[in-house]
A = this chain, B = another copy of it.
Amino acid sequence: MAAQNGSTMRLPHPPTVATWATAGGKRESTSPFAQGFDLLYDDNRLERKTWEQAEAFLLEQTARRCLEKGSITPEQVNLALAGDLQAQCTASGYAMRQLQIPFAGLYGACSTMAESLALGACLSSTGLAEQILVMTASHFCAAERQFRMPLNYGGMRTPTSQWTATAAGCVLLRSEGQGVRIPSVSFGRVQDLQVKDITNMGAAMAPAAADTLLRYFQAMGVSANEFDAIFTGDLGQVGSELLEQLMAQAGMPLHNHQDCGCLLYGSDPQVGAGGSGCGCSAAVLGTHILPELESGRYRRVLFVATGALMSQATFLQKESIPGIAHLVELTAPEK
């Protein structure tokens, strides 16, 4: 895993997180971070006809709440970067149809919150866009049908499997102003250690998180313990253990590592190895990481969201599961 400085970008004018919003569904209402959500829905259908429409609506409502909190209208946003897990990213497409903001679609699987933050921060830092929305969503029922089996099949879950969050997160980035800052970002490379078990995504993604962290530390000349916390999302319990092993083997042990997938549902026994889905790390970012940075309890953290880049077709074709991890450095507001 050689370092490649080019993929780590120090932003000359670190953009600020002006505000953000998060939304969750029924299970998210029992999260240890439940109080941090802006919107919580008892009914995961959100009064829509399909799970897919429910996800699009969840994302749209989260974006609208973020705009409200930022006291701006959709017309004042230069660009929205959004992605989700549905085939052809339709949750984002249909949400953006309602919002009418210029829109560039992303696909980073569960790494989308970090990918959109990283790309948005680059565009924002250079003044090309004054106000950018970055966002993502996932929906448990839409994702089960998309990647595994329709819920009606009542398939058994393995202990290594993770629970796709019904959640969305949206962040408003500004090139100027007060707030949490993004001084640097790093885009990941696809890593594939030939894991083929689609009920063990954490194992497939852990090598990507290790690769991105090691390249970032080398490019920036820093070590893990210079950060108050390093958040991955969403390796779950299995993937987190593998990441910690890989980092220790590389001589860079992580003593301050937490995983969004392990955090979101606390010790809920139904979720298997933890949470997952684009919305999981987005929700932990919005309900825990950003508030703790704003209050100054954290001064400097890394947010490293991971994604598994497979589909149902590639699984049926017996392909292995490639993983990717994008990294965003977040620092507390200057006093």
A267 within 8 A of B: no
Q: Is A115 an interface residue (CB 8 A)?
A: yes
A83 at the interface (CB under 8 A from B): yes
Pick the residue among B6, B75, B104, B187 that contacts A108 (CB under 8 A).
B104
Contact size range, A: 35 or more
Tell yes or no: A254 within 8 A of B by CB.
no
| A311 contacts chain B at the CB level, 8 A cutoff | yes
Nearest first, the 4 A-B pairs at minimum CB distance are A7-B102, A93-B309, A87-B87, A126-B126
**Known contacts A128-B11, A190-B97; A87/B50 CB under 8 A:** no
A64 vs chain B, min Cβ distance (A): 15
Given contacts A87-B146, A93-B322, 10 further A-B contacts (CB under 8 A): A6-B102, A50-B317, A93-B310, A94-B314, A97-B190, A103-B187, A104-B115, A106-B106, A106-B107, A122-B123
Interface of A is mostly: mixed
Contact A103 to B313, CB < 8 A, known contacts A88-B87, A190-B97: no
CB of A103 within 8 A of CB of B322, answer no
CB contact under 8 A between A189 and B101, given known A107-B88, A310-B90: yes
